[in-house]
Amino acid sequence: MLRGTFANIGLIAALATAPASAQEPAKERTGAGGYELVWADEFDTDGPPDPAKWVWDTHANKMGWYNKELQYYAADRPENARVEGGRLIITARRETLAARADHGGQGYTSARLITKGKAEFTYGLIEVRAKLPCGKGSWPAIWTLGATAPWPDGGEIDIMEHVGQTPGDIFGTIHNRSTAGSFGNGGKTRIQTACTAFHDYQLLWTPREIRFAVDGKPYHRYANAGTGAEQWPFDQPHYLLLNLAVGGAMGGEVDDAIFPATFEIEHVRVYRQAVRGAAPAATPE
């Protein structure tokens, strides 16, 4: 069940004003509070992910996924993604689905869910409560991609990435045209219980800046430098992605003993700042 229409004002204030590092001074508070819920999935109904909210992304199965990843993303398969007990459970498995027409020879299966065409957002607070897998070779991610332009021109916001090679290290990263060819502009924080407990992975996205946080504690900030779309393509809609990759450039060497590996999500919530004098928004843009 939804736990309220409005975002916690204290959380918004903390993300908007707290320094993202010990070296950065606190910012003047601007627009803290007044964030209302515009989209959410609380995963209350057992079964497949809600088709009104999520799309199975399988487009690169045949050619092979990016970043040298090793998984095949299966669609409509509860062994890889299902809602159960109030959680979305994405599971990576050591298996081959060679009989599928779009199979590309992968020896692992998993799932990648996106909101493209269902829900897209420009600015706001995004919060995903999740528990991560920690096995060597696992690579869960919570992220967004630009809906109106291809990568990197549409921009990418990695709200949370974690790899079993370095369990407990949480990465938040920005990618755009100006960072193409690099590892992006990112930060890292340490969450000792990332794989044993649920935590809130958060993004505060405004016209001025993007802030990354875990459990209300900011750890990285990316500012709009005002130099144009190559540095700030983040004034256009993005869609959400949830996936569990295997191996690849970031996931690294895979220990087959970890499978099945699970990525559990308790909720996904998107809040947007209300416009004074306007009626509350019923749906995202």
Catalytic positions, written as ranges: 156, 161
Asked if 54 and 33 count as a contact pair (C-beta separation under 8 A), the reply is no
Task: Give the Cα separation of 158 and 216 in Å (integer).
Answer: 17
Task: Give the Cα separation of 76 and 9 in Å (integer).
Answer: 38
119 backbone dihedrals φ, ψ, rounded to 5°: -155, 125
Report which of 189, 183, 233 is spatially closest to residue 67, judged by C-alpha positions: 183
* Burial tier of 251 (Cβ tally within 10 Å: 0-12, 13-18, 19+): buried
Q: Are strands 71-73 and 108-110 parallel, antiparallel or unpaired?
A: parallel
